[in-house]
Amino acid sequence: MLTRIDCFRIFAVIIFLGFTLITKSISSKPNFLLFLADDLGIGDIGCFGNNTLRTPNIDRLAKEGVKLTQHISASPLCTPSRAAFMTGRYPIRSGMDYSDAGRVIMWTAASSGLPPNETTFASILQQEGYTTGIIGKWHLGINCASCKDFCHHPNNHGFGYFYGMPFSMFGDCQPGSPSEYQQDFQSQLHFLQMLCVGMITLILVKFTKLLHINGKIILFSGIFVVLCSIACYAQYGFLRYWNCIVMRNQEMTEQPMDLERSAPQLVKEAHGFIERNKHVPFLLVVSFLHVHSPYITTKKFTGRSKHGLYGDNVEEMDYLVGSIVDAMEKAGLNTNTFMYFASDHGGHREINGGWNGIYKGGKAVAGWEGGIRVPGIIRWPGVIVADTVCDEPTSLMDIFPTVIHLGGGKLPTDRIIDGRNLMPLLKKQISHSEHEFLFHYCGRNLHAVRWHDKQSGAIWKAHFMTPVFFPEGSGNCYDTFICDCEGERVTHLNPPLLFELSSDPSEATPLYANPQYMEVIHHIQLAVTEHQKTISSVPQQLSYMNNRWKPWLQPCCGTFPFCVCHKDINVTSTI
Ligand SMILES: *[C@@H]1O[C@H](CO)[C@@H](O)[C@H](O)[C@H]1NC(C)=O
Ligand SMILES: *[C@@H]1O[C@H](CO)[C@@H](O)[C@H](O)[C@H]1NC(C)=O
């Protein structure tokens, strides 16, 4: 006969076992540490063949994990590529790509951004009990209708913690660096000039009495010209104050940001996040401001590399990767963590840096490999075999279903997800990538398509449109910072250009004379028709009107327009 006390003991033991089982299963959930570099070329990394830039920490991740040699971004520009990365969907599905010149978000005070009804992998992991954070660059919008609705903000997209730039590093953050807004500014100046000419004509006509003009018309048009000039100056004259800002969650901490402190601050934040959350499952995205121009680099790394300021900036970023991985090791989280490293798109060749190796084109060039083939590395000791290479086509969009699968969540079923779970491929349960086709968009225009024919193993790529390079063959586009997606500066190719990427990765020899040409193009065209049926019309986030500076959406530390602050200044440098 069991006594009451025995029953109690047995009961306690059962409870205890159950509890340990539950905590065990929670703690066996992997952590996620995802590094995303900005504008880094595939040819800038040691383990991808660069023998003069030193990137030992990134190389170590590859040595201990798998190197993805055909890792493809959904767009050659930041905003659309990041939207696709976060949602696992082509940016055209969320309205986050546009064929106009401003194909990235141009202002922190624009109403453009990742729509609130899009789901990021972070929001699904958050529902699964994960602590989630993003440190660094966001560039997917802040507000919709008022300066405090935060509808596009990381906190509203599944990231419990945000520290960094809601916008992006760019030339104008550093006084004296080349402006990236020159073109935009100039078109507004032309507009103002036209207004002034109109104004002067009105006055002349009035005083020469050629026509009778009411004095009020002159007065009102005068006021209009003055207001337009003030609005134009207010936008471009204070660019640094509007766009180069740092936030912690929804609080502004630096306006304008202190460039020197940005790197030390970023590692410090990453270390802090890891330390605070080492006992719970977490997802941390470290989205570097490196290696976007103007290449802000601390003293310790300046002048160290063999490739000028750009190289210094790459080497500093590598150091930051190492420092954050070390912090994971110290916290004992090394084995149970899925680590990922990639760049958002190809390197930016036009602004003195960024090397895309043998691949043609670069950032802002849509269809060619240089704009979209990026370094990709995944490391997960004990699960993924170390020092391996995967040459199959994979996409940045694959991180979405992979992370959700591993974190125990479910994929949304009310929308199309374009990414594929990478685990079966990485664990060698299947030998071919699940991507039969990848569509390479330039804004809303489909420029090229990649077909991985699993039977023959061939990787075909057809170009239907290509940007016109200037000078010819240079891989650069005219005077514009971004290649056009449609119009005069795009060549329509009919018949399409065809390449086979396994034998010709640098897309040097078009295969017009190949006996399979007709058959391959036909097959690709059928796939395009099927794909296009799945694209529905959605609000265009980057339309001209959405992508404007709207003073009422401007995050401001102080009373608008006097926006200045420098909080957290007592941070001691860890670099
Ligand atoms: C290494 O990277 C630098 C900087 O981008 C580039 O100039 C150089 O050509 C690269 N070297 C190789 C071998 O790819
Ligand atoms: C989000 O809302 C827009 C506008 O109402 C709609 O067109 C789109 O299909 C929605 N997206 C999703 C994923 O539900």
Q: Is the peptide bond before 294 cis (omega within 30 degrees of 0)?
A: yes
Residue whose C-alpha is closest to residue 140's, from 148, 131, 150, 126:
150
Active centre residues (catalytic): 78, 139
* pLDDT in the model for residue 2: 54
Report CA torsion sign: 368, 527, 88, 117: positive
Q: 336's torsion region: left (phi>0), alpha (psi -120 to 50) or beta?
A: alpha
Based on its alpha-carbon atoms, the radius of gyration of the chain, rounded to whole angstroms, reads 26
Distance 397 CA to ligand 1 centre (A): 27
Q: Ligand 1, residues 39, 50, 292, 352: which to mutate, most atoms within 8 A of Cβ?
A: 50
Are 368 and 327 within 8 A, CB to CB? no
Q: Measuring CA to CA, which residue among 182, 178, 193, 135 is closest to residue 160?
A: 135
Top-confidence range, 11-25, 359-373, 388-402: 388-402
Rounded (10°) angle between helices 308-330 and 262-277: 20
- Taking a C-beta distance cutoff of 8 angstroms, is the pair 554, 109 a contact? yes
Over range 192-216, report the average pLDDT: 87
Shortest-distance atom of ligand 1 to CA 43:
14
- Do both 266 and 192 map to the same domain? no
Indicate the residue type of 499: F
The pLDDT assigned to 555 comes to 96
For the CA atoms of 323, 325, 331, 334, the dihedral, rounded to the nearest 10 degrees, stands at -160
Of the listed ranges 114-118, 144-148, 244-248, 349-353, the one predicted with least confidence: 349-353
Whether residue 223 sits in one domain with residue 90 = no
Any residues with Cβ below 6 Å from ligand 1, and which?
43-44, 49-53, 307, 310-311, 353, 355, 357
* Three-state secondary-structure class, residue 493: strand
What's the predicted TM-score (pTM) here?
Answer: 0.93
Evaluate whether residue 6 is within a structural domain. no
Q: Is 127 inside any structural domain?
A: yes
Which residue of 93, 117, 413, 536 sits with most ligand 2 atoms within 8 Å of its CB, as the best mutation to test the pocket? Answer: 117
What atom of ligand 2 comes closest to residue 119's alpha carbon?
Answer: 13
Q: Is residue 42 part of a domain?
A: no
Evaluate if residue 23 carries a pLDDT over 50. no
Whether 95 is in the pocket of ligand 2, judged by its Cβ within 6 Å, is: no
Q: Judge if the beta carbon of residue 115 lies within 6 A of ligand 2.
A: yes
Identify which ligand lies nearest to the alpha carbon of 306. 1
Distance CA 82, CA 86 (A): 6
pLDDT above 90: percentage of residues in the chain: 77
- Amino acid present at 72: I
Which residues sit opposite 37 in a β-bridge? Answer: 343
Residue to mutate (ligand 1; options 40, 307, 313; most atoms within 8 A of CB): 307
Residues 228 and 346 in one domain: no
Average pLDDT over residues 320-324: 98
For residue 540, give the ligand nearest its CA. 2
Q: Which residue has the higher pLDDT, 30 or 180?
A: 30
Which residue matches tokens 């990236």? 180
Q: State yes or no: pLDDT of 575 exceeds 70.
A: no
Q: How many whole angstroms from 138 Cα to the centroid of ligand 2?
A: 21
What's the average model confidence in pLDDT over 271-293? Answer: 97
Q: What is the DSSP letter of 571?
A: P
The SS3 assignment for 192 reads helix
Distance from the alpha carbon of residue 536 to the mean position of ligand 2, in angstroms: 9
In ligand 2, the atom with minimum distance to the C-alpha of 94 is 11
Provide the residue range defining the domain that includes 214. 182-237
Decide if 535 is inside a domain. yes
Two structure tokens written together for 62: 């590859």
Q: Is the pLDDT of residue 372 over 90?
A: yes
Pocket test for ligand 2, best of 89, 94, 111, 538 (most atoms within 8 A of CB): 538
Encoding tokens for residue 318? 């590598």
CA 556 – CA 296 distance, rounded (Å): 24
User: Of all atoms in ligand 2, which is nearest to the CA of residue 117?
Assistant: 1
Ligand having the closest approach to the CA of 416: 2
478 pLDDT more than 80: no
Could you tell me if the CB of 415 is within 6 A of ligand 2?
A: yes
Q: Tell me: do 357 and 456 sit in the same domain.
A: yes
CA nearest ligand 1 atom 10, residue: 50
Q: Is residue 148 part of a domain?
A: yes
Q: Are residues 139 and 257 in the same domain?
A: yes
H-type alpha helices, 47-180: 56-63, 78-87, 91-94, 121-127
What CATH number should be reported for the domain holding residue 376? 3.40.720.10
CA atoms within 13 A on the CB side of 387: 1
- 231-244 confidence digits (pLDDT tens): 888 889 899 999 99
User: Under a CB-based contact definition with an 8 Å cutoff, are residues 397 and 419 in contact?
Assistant: yes
Can you tell me the distance from the alpha carbon of 257 to that of 245, in angstroms, rounded to the nearest whole number?
5
Dihedral-angle region of residue 442 (phi above 0 means left; psi in -120 to 50 means alpha; beta otherwise): beta
Residues 161 and 189 occupy one common structural domain? no
Torsion of CA 326, 332, 334, 335, to 10 degrees: 170
CB burial of 280-319 (b: ≥16 within 10 Å; e: otherwise) equals: ebbbbbbbbbbbbbbbbbbeebeeebebebbbbbbbbbbb
Site of tokens 């939207």 = 83
Judge if 397 and 464 occupy the same domain: yes
What HEC string does 13-76 produce? Answer: HHHHHHHHHHHHHHHCCCEEEEEEECCCCHHHCHHHCCCCCCCHHHHHHHHCCEEEEEEECCCC
Which of 348, 355, 356, 374 is the pocket-test mutation for ligand 1 (most atoms within 8 Å of CB)?
355
- CA of 347, closest atom in ligand 1: 5
Does residue 268 sit within a domain? yes
Question: Is 535 near ligand 2, meaning CB less than 6 Å away?
Answer: no
Does residue 166's CB lie within 6 angstroms of at least one atom of ligand 2? Answer: no
3-state DSSP assignment of residue 489: coil
Q: What is the mean pLDDT of residues 291-304?
A: 95
What is the chain's length?
Answer: 575
Q: Are residues 157 and 203 in the same domain?
A: no
Do residues 143 and 111 lie in contact, with contact meaning Cβ atoms separated by under 8 Å? yes
Specify the residue with its C-alpha closest to ligand 2, atom 2.
Answer: 117
For tokens 């080497």, the residue is 315
Measured by CA distance, the residue closest to atom 12 of ligand 1 is 50
Do residue 337 and residue 445 come from a single domain?
A: yes
Which among 481, 478, 412, 421 is positioned nearest to 180, based on CA atoms? Answer: 481
Confidence of residue 342 (pLDDT cuts 50, 70, 90): very high
In a domain, 207, yes or no: yes
Classify residue 551 by its DSSP letter.
G
Asked whether residue 569 is domain-assigned, the answer is: no
Please, what's the largest Cα pairwise distance for the chain? Answer: 119
Residues 210 and 279 placed together within one structural domain of the fold = no
Q: Which ligand is nearest to the CA of 358?
A: 1
Verify whether ligand 2 is closer than 6 Å to residue 539 (CB atom).
yes
Q: In angstroms, what is the span from residue 347 Cα to ligand 1's centroid? A: 11
Q: Say which ligand is closest to the CA of 413.
A: 2
Q: Do 346 and 232 sit in the same domain of this protein? A: no
Give the pair of three-digit tokens for residue 210.
């050629």
Helix (H) / strand (E) element for 500: namely: strand 490-500
Tens of pLDDT, residue by residue over 259-280, are 999 999 999 999 999 999 999 9
Higher pLDDT, 573 or 31: 31
Residue nearest to atom 9 of ligand 1 (CA): 355
**Ligand located closest to 356 CA:** 1
For 492, phi and psi rounded to 5 degrees? -90, 130
The partner residues of 559 in beta bridges, in order of sequence, read: 562
The pLDDT of residue 22 is 47
Q: How far, in Å, is the centroid of ligand 2 from the Cα of 471?
A: 41
- Residue given tokens 């504008």 in the structure block: 39
| CB-based burial, 61-86: b 16+ in 10 Å, e otherwise | bbebbbbbbbbbbbbbbbbbbbbbbb
For ligand 2, atom 7: residue with the closest CA: 538
24-55 pLDDT tens trace: 444 579 999 999 999 999 999 999 999 999 99
Neighbours of 400 (CB within 10 A): 28
Please give the C-alpha separations between residue 461 and each of 176, 177, 367, 502, 547, in angstroms, as whole numbers: 42, 38, 9, 10, 33
Tell me: pLDDT of 21 over 60. no
Cα of 345 to ligand 1 centre, how many Å? 17
CB-based contacts of 410, cutoff 8 Å, min separation 6: 124, 404
The single-letter code of the amino acid at 132 is T
Mean pLDDT of the chain: 92
Residue nearest to atom 12 of ligand 2 (CA): 117
123 & 212 share domain: no
Name the burial class of residue 230, with classes exposed (0-12), middle (13-18) and buried (19+) by CB atoms within 10 angstroms of its CB: exposed
Across 129-156, average pLDDT: 97
Domain count within the chain: 2
Cα gap 390→406, rounded to integer Å: 20
Q: Could you give the CA distance from residue 199 to residue 222 in angstroms, rounded to a whole number?
A: 7
Residues paired with 507 in a beta bridge: none
The predicted-structure confidence for 405-438, as pLDDT tens digits, reads as follows 999 999 999 999 999 999 999 999 999 999 999 9
| Mean pLDDT confidence for 466-491 | 82
Angstrom distances, CA of residue 448 to CA of 143, 276, 309, 442? 33, 45, 34, 9
